[in-house]
Structure 1
């Protein structure tokens, strides 16, 4: 059930992004026209497809005829949206070119050597784009050759040192070209593409002599610098970045690898980042939709708090005008199921009947750590995990650990028989009439499901495997 709910959300958000990709291709409001002549020597009397990048996907915009002279005309009475476009031949070979402000130009190449023979007329940005690609290809070949030599002579320390210096030289040459090209192109699409592949060079920091924990100070300063400068020279209100294969990758890298993965830190950076996109409604929609989906699909247990933050502050708070009624309904349902059981919150209290008829309140359990375990004897995965959990419980039960095991079904006799056979003598409870609403409060859609609470019944971890639970508890007990 949980997978189905998540799948519906993912599909609904994806539909919105797909609509955005289609909508943003040829904006009729743009004044001007486009006329692109593509001549491919060796190709005639056929068709050519015009595609474009959008995020991590590719789309086909149009199919045009190639005449007997090998010429195809792409033309219209409005400007094409900025981005990286793709000319696709019948045999699926293709080449990329840029669409920026000036959209009247010509391209010539040959069928058998598309990229090497590619030439542009009246499009300096594309001529520079090709020159840049050739430069990068050469540098990559140099790096590959150096790395191959390093591997072949791995025991020669002096040679290894020399080769490392060569790698540094190539790296610096690339960075120099990035900088000069970006500055020369002065904010156009090529400049933006280069900015999207650049990463901040973290400077040397002057740590005061005698400072306590200098390595920690240096790490914090480096982290802060990289976080604050990761999007330098990139105009996040320019929707041309959407029609590149680079932006989504950089966006994912920022929120996955650069930022500290705690909800408080991520929520702050989400808001800060989204604010930078508000100058363009399409970029704003893309980023908000992408981040909602990213944290919805994340396997990191605390990320559901970020998902809830985005859903509440941008969708439910009516800052996502593209969201249809179906998506809004599903989002509200999902948020309502997640909000009570987010990591860091006090677990919802349950007062359930035990196997011997006594009612036991979760919040009255006196324990250093409480494991809340939702299970059923007939569940095949439970049959595997429950004995492992019980074995672990016996190792730590004298160290302030308690288990509040909730039987999720209604066959009391079968449950009690299983308890007697297995000897599970932790706290066993059930809810015969489902008066506690535990499924909604804890978002239980499958078994087994594990929650770990501290002494104040604050949720430390949720929906983890028994193996992971053991690691967490052992680590907590060792402190």
Structure 2
């Protein structure tokens, strides 16, 4: 009796201390120095652990015995959003290799090996379908054979994943499976119509991963009519919003990601549709003031909108100062609002070029308003004397300036072309792009009898 008790006591500490590990090897080893482990959630990533990478490229994370199952992310370089990969953890040891050329491979982990195998199998079947349609796609027998493989593969993987975390992802990935031969166009349309059939946006396991984000982006950007991409994007976004259903937290995250994608690409019609139709109201309900401001700043500075107003101090020939609103100016057919800085190297190259161009123009053709997002008022003032043809505004606070905010300025120089009614009509990338665009604009008619121009 006592011997049995002693034996139990002897193994009890080992049982209590039992824990899982995530270990692996990075290749080439000399290019990796550290690794960070994060637990992925719907709206953030929670730090779990970090480790140094050995000279041979090996690393190990020792997980706590109560570490929650879910999606985890290993970050191996900066910036974190570029240099990382995800994996599934469900109370098992995981061993992997990561090669910069070959990518990620799992040596041990039922969850991750099953997920990889499923994706590889589905990719091969997809290639067979593409080859079938590319070759003409006429034989019912060949089509049914591919579809049978597709259906059987999905069913077998779902059975193999029973009781596992990965089952959530495999069932949500179930593809469209037709019963009879259809042409490629009909297949694509049906696949689009059935895309969200098996995706539950309320599933917390899917929410706490990249799955819903990737599925949404794939849908919006892949099912597109190249003849009218923006119309397709907007239709797809509306479908996504409806598919998400009553899941406000997920809806906010996914729509904000979509808005950011189109905002970065400066696709203003689509980005503003997301904001106006959905995201602004969602952000206000969530009291997300920062997001509300970002959406409004982007919209206000979009082509087609009236440029946000601001004050300009104008000096006459006698040095007398008059303060005017930009909207009240009535001296040119077009206006160019340019944001620059005295410490910006690109600005110091382009602003003199812009001034040389303006010197060749009639006063009624263009007026430039140069807004310096800066901190040194004296240095700015000295530099303004080099550009007497411009109206100058000191944007105190640099990136924390209301004029720059209202024009959604993220970099200098930034150019905004306005018509005589102060409507934004173009946002050229640089001074050369402005010059090329300006040549296409209609110019004011000259009076029949006019004196010598001050430019002559």
TM-score by length of 2: 0.53
Counterparts of 1:237 and 1:454, CA distance in 2: 46
For residue 173 of structure 1, report the CA deviation from its aligned partner. 7.3
2:309 matched residue in structure 1? 349
1:296 is paired with a residue whose SS is helix
Distance change (3 Å), C-alpha of 1:286 and 1:231: same
1:195 is paired with a residue whose SS is coil
For residue 454 of structure 1, report the CA deviation from its aligned partner. 3.1
Distance change (3 Å), C-alpha of 1:314 and 1:389: same
Counterparts of 1:136 and 1:446, CA distance in 2: 41
For residue 52 of structure 1, report the CA deviation from its aligned partner. 5.1
Counterparts of 1:474 and 1:227, CA distance in 2: 47
Counterparts of 2:117 and 2:394, CA distance in 1: 68
Identify the match of residue 214 of structure 2 among 239, 249, 271. 249
1:405 is paired with a residue whose SS is strand
Distance change (3 Å), C-alpha of 1:391 and 1:268: farther
8 Å Cα contact 1:404-1:426 kept in structure 2: no
Identify the match of residue 348 of structure 2 among 377, 383, 388. 383
Counterparts of 2:385 and 2:368, CA distance in 1: 17
Identify the match of residue 58 of structure 1 among 86, 92, 95. 86
1:315 is the counterpart of 2:341 = no
Counterparts of 1:134 and 1:410, CA distance in 2: 58
8 Å Cα contact 1:347-1:453 kept in structure 2: yes
1:457 is the counterpart of 2:422 = yes
**C-alpha distance after superposition, 1:279-319 (max 9, x if no partner):** 5x3xx53343032134236422326635644542212124x
2:369 is paired with a residue whose SS is strand
Map 1:374-413 to 2 at 5 A. Answer: 374-391=339-356, 393=358, 400-409=365-374
Distance change (3 Å), C-alpha of 1:90 and 1:358: closer
Which stretch shows the higher mean deviation, 397-406 or 165-174?
165-174
2:185 matched residue in structure 1? 202
1:17 is paired with a residue whose SS is coil
For residue 383 of structure 1, report the CA deviation from its aligned partner. 0.3
1:17 matched residue in structure 2? 43
* Residue correspondences, number: 339
8 Å Cα contact 2:339-2:415 kept in structure 1: yes
For residue 429 of structure 1, report the CA deviation from its aligned partner. 2.5
In structure 2, the gaps of 5 or more residues are 1-39, 49-63, 74-83, 98-105, 159-166, 444-456
1:293 is the counterpart of 2:276 = no
2:339 is paired with a residue whose SS is strand
8 Å Cα contact 1:304-1:342 kept in structure 2: no
8 Å Cα contact 2:312-2:324 kept in structure 1: yes
Counterparts of 1:342 and 1:312, CA distance in 2: 16
Identify the match of residue 276 of structure 1 among 222, 243, 249. 243
Cα RMSD over matched residues?
Answer: 5.6
Counterparts of 1:360 and 1:182, CA distance in 2: 71
1:27 matched residue in structure 2? none
8 Å Cα contact 2:150-2:177 kept in structure 1: no
1:105 matched residue in structure 2? none
In structure 1, the gaps of 5 or more residues are 1-13, 23-46, 65-86, 99-114, 119-125, 147-161, 205-221, 319-324
1:193 is the counterpart of 2:173 = yes
8 Å Cα contact 1:393-1:401 kept in structure 2: yes
1:372 is the counterpart of 2:337 = yes
Distance change (3 Å), C-alpha of 1:17 and 1:472: farther
8 Å Cα contact 1:372-1:406 kept in structure 2: yes
Counterparts of 2:438 and 2:142, CA distance in 1: 45
Counterparts of 2:342 and 2:144, CA distance in 1: 64
For residue 336 of structure 1, report the CA deviation from its aligned partner. 5.6
1:165 is the counterpart of 2:165 = no
2:15 matched residue in structure 1? none
TM-score by length of 1: 0.51
Looking at secondary structure, tell me which structure has more helix per residue: 1
